[in-house]
Amino acid sequence: MAFSQDFEDLYGVTDERALNFWASHLHEQMGSKQWSRISDSTGVYLASVLGHFCLQSMDRTEVLSPDYSPSDREFRQFADLTQIAEFMMTQLTAGREPLWMESAGAHILLYAGFFQSQNKHRHNIEFFSSLGRECYLMAAVGKRERTMKLMAKEFHQYLFHLANLQRHLRESRYLIGSVN
């Protein structure tokens, strides 16, 4: 049971199917050589980010509300890349919350990586790649320091892989069958 709690604390996803879905598709998209290099470090974390977002509902109206104020122990939600950039500007001049920094980095992975094709005409992906890297560096504290630093180091590459994964899933959407 302690392993399950540690896993949830580290990765934020406990639904094994969601995690396996994203991990297997990342492995397929990256190739065995690249996946084996990261599977024991940031690969599972990357799959857990995607798993987290597919399992969470988000009320965009609530997140955009001026009254939205999660505690420093909650994973902060962001509605879009613009909101992340505005948030980062205030965080750089105020006290930094590592969990919120990780949340911002994870949202950038989602919006500028997985949904890059939808955002590249509205946002400068290179800017957000740098911003995401900095988010993970600011989140690198405590027992998560190593994983966060590894995420920062390869952030640009992960955006590339997530964009390719989304393209692959979109092109093969009719090939994904349901399991009975």
Task: Note the pTM of the prediction, 2 decimals.
Answer: 0.66
Domain that holds residue 43: 2-58+73-171
- For residue 144, tell me if it sits in a domain: yes
70: exposed, middle or buried (Cβ count in 10 Å: 0-12, 13-18, 19+):
middle
Q: Summarize pLDDT for 112-166 with one digit per residue, the tens.
A: 998 888 888 888 889 889 989 999 998 999 998 999 999 999 999 999 999 999 9
pLDDT at 1: 39
- For residue 176, tell me if it sits in a domain: no
pLDDT at 151: 94
- For residue 126, tell me if it sits in a domain: yes
2 pLDDT higher than 50 = no
Total structural domains within the chain = 1
- For residue 177, tell me if it sits in a domain: no
pLDDT at 148: 94
- For residue 164, tell me if it sits in a domain: yes
pLDDT at 150: 94
Which residue bears the tokens 């190593």?
146
- For residue 180, tell me if it sits in a domain: no
- For residue 118, tell me if it sits in a domain: yes
Q: Summarize pLDDT for 45-101 with one digit per residue, the tens.
A: 888 888 877 777 666 666 667 776 666 666 666 766 777 777 776 666 565 788 888
- For residue 68, tell me if it sits in a domain: no
